[in-house]
Structure 1
Amino acid sequence: MTETSRITSRGVDKLIAKLRDDGVAAGRDEAARLKSEAEAEAARLLARARAEADSYLVKAKKEADAYRAAGEQALETAIRDAVLRLRAGMAGRFRDEMQRLVSEKLADEEMLKAMILEIVGRARDSLDTRGAAEVILPAAVVGAEQIRENAGDIQSDRLTGYVLGLTSDMLRDGVTLLAADGRQGGIRVRFQEGDIELDLTDEAVAALLLAHMQPRFRAVLEGVIRG
């Protein structure tokens, strides 16, 4: 091999070695760059995942709080409705029982007799009324059969003596007993040809008693329910 060939061969070897070394360095640098980018991308993805997870947790907590609040509200509403239904039911039973007791009491013949004698006398004195007084009795007390049998004497002294054992001398002059058309309980008393009427039917008496007693009943009921 000539000197020139040897020089050329060495140059080629050096070039190959340089290219090899440059390639290795470039590959190392590229690998380092790719690794750095991959690590940066991984960090970004991890940060975004954490942010999304935190967001989901916050959202989930808000939804859980909303569901819990809605559940508590629904429970409070259900309890309130139950209390209202209980209160209404007990008030209704109280009203019905009051009506039943009053109707039962005013169906008693002795009670009616006492009411007629007392109310007619007191009303006439207090109202200074003149003329006839009409007392409308429950048809149930007079009796449907008796009404049919005495239809022609419905305003006569014979009916006065027949009903409740009252006689004409037990009442003041001018008092007439009549039978109610409907299912009235208790009595109604009319003066001055109907211009003045005292309503002592079972419905009127029960309503008066309820107006007086229901506030106290509600107060007791409130205490029982809240207690």
Structure 2
Amino acid sequence: MRQNKAVMQTLQSLIEKLQREAVEEGQRQAQAITAEAQAKAIKTVKEAEAKAARILEQAEQDAKAFTERSTRALEQAGRDLLISVSQGVESILAGLVRESLQQALTPEVLREILLKMTEAYLVRGGRERRMTVWLSPEDHEQLVKYYAELYRQRLAQGVELRIDNEVVRGFRVAMDEGHIEHDFTLEAIAEALTYYLQPHLARIIPRTAPKLSQEG
């Protein structure tokens, strides 16, 4: 009986020992799993933070590049607008100058201008040998009679009026057998006036273009 009791106690002790060892092993495994999970979690967080930092850095670089491209595009658009406005205004100005000159250079005005030039030529004794004036067919028809009556004899001495179909309005003058020539045609005067007014436009347009850009 005593022997059975001793055996039972031994078995009980063995069972308790096995239970303790099983519990301890389970705890060790649980701790190992927890530590591994924590390590993986920390690693995952660090990788996520690093990835987020790379994405943020790339986004900042992309934003900077986009801003630079946008700035260059806006600057180019501003230059294009300024050039377009300048060309448009110059074209309008040239048209207005030409239209004004076409109205101003009437046969009466041409007659007065040519009269002064002819008188100056005759006062100098025609030392340029000969003065030839090229006119449009329309102006030639109206002026030749006037000059023929006014300087009938002197015209024969060296002042000659000729027709030039390329002249729309105004005239060209040649002296000293063509070595000296002055262009007073509509095109030449308009070009000279437009060239003279361009510096004024250059000061006006840069102030005007931004306003046009804002309105657009």
What TM-score comes out, normalization by structure 1 length?
0.77
Aligned with 1:197 (options 151, 162, 181): 181
SS in 1 for 2:177: helix
Deviation at 1:193, TM superposition (A): 2.7
Q: After the TM superposition, which of the residue ranges 64-73 and 197-206 deviates more from structure 2?
A: 64-73
Which residue is equivalent to 1:178?
A: 162
User: Is the CA contact (8 Å cut-off) linking 1:139 and 1:182 kept in structure 2?
Assistant: no
Q: Residue in 2 aligned with 1:156?
A: none
Cα displacement (A) at 1:40: 1.9
**CA deviation after TM superposition for structure 1 residue 125, in Å:** 5.2
| Aligned 1:1-227 pairs, distance under 5 A | 1=1, 3=3, 5-106=4-105, 108-123=106-121, 129-142=127-140, 160-161=144-145, 165-170=146-151, 172-173=154-155, 174-225=158-209
Q: CA deviation at 1:98?
A: 1.2
- Return 5+ residue gaps in structure 1 as ranges: 147-158
Q: Aligned pair count?
A: 208
Question: Equivalent residue for 1:150?
Answer: none
What is the DSSP-based 3-state SS (H/G/I as helix, E as strand, rest coil) of the residue aligned with 1:10?
A: helix
RMSD: 2.8
Letter in 2 for 1:134: T
What CA distance in whole angstroms lies between the structure 1 residues aligned with 2:123 and 2:202?
Answer: 38
Contact 2:85–2:205 under 8 Å retained in 1: no
Runs of 4+ in 1 over 4 A off after TM superposition: 123-128, 223-227
Q: Is the 8 A contact 2:82 2:205 kept in 1?
A: no
Q: Which moves more between the two structures, 127-136 or 16-25? A: 127-136
Measure how far apart 1:81 and its partner are. 1.6
2:214 maps to what in 1? Answer: none
What is the rounded CA distance, in whole Å, between the counterparts of 1:226 and 1:2 in structure 2?
114
User: What TM-score do the two structures reach when normalised by structure 2?
Assistant: 0.80
Give ranges in structure 2 of 5+ residues lacking alignment.
212-216
CA contact (8 A) 1:136 1:189 kept: yes
Paired letter, 1:169: L
Query: Judging changes above 3 Å, is the alpha-carbon distance between structure 1 residues 197 and 127 closer, same or farther for their aligned structure 2 residues?
Result: farther
Q: CA–CA distance in 1 between the matches of 2:206 and 2:36?
A: 74
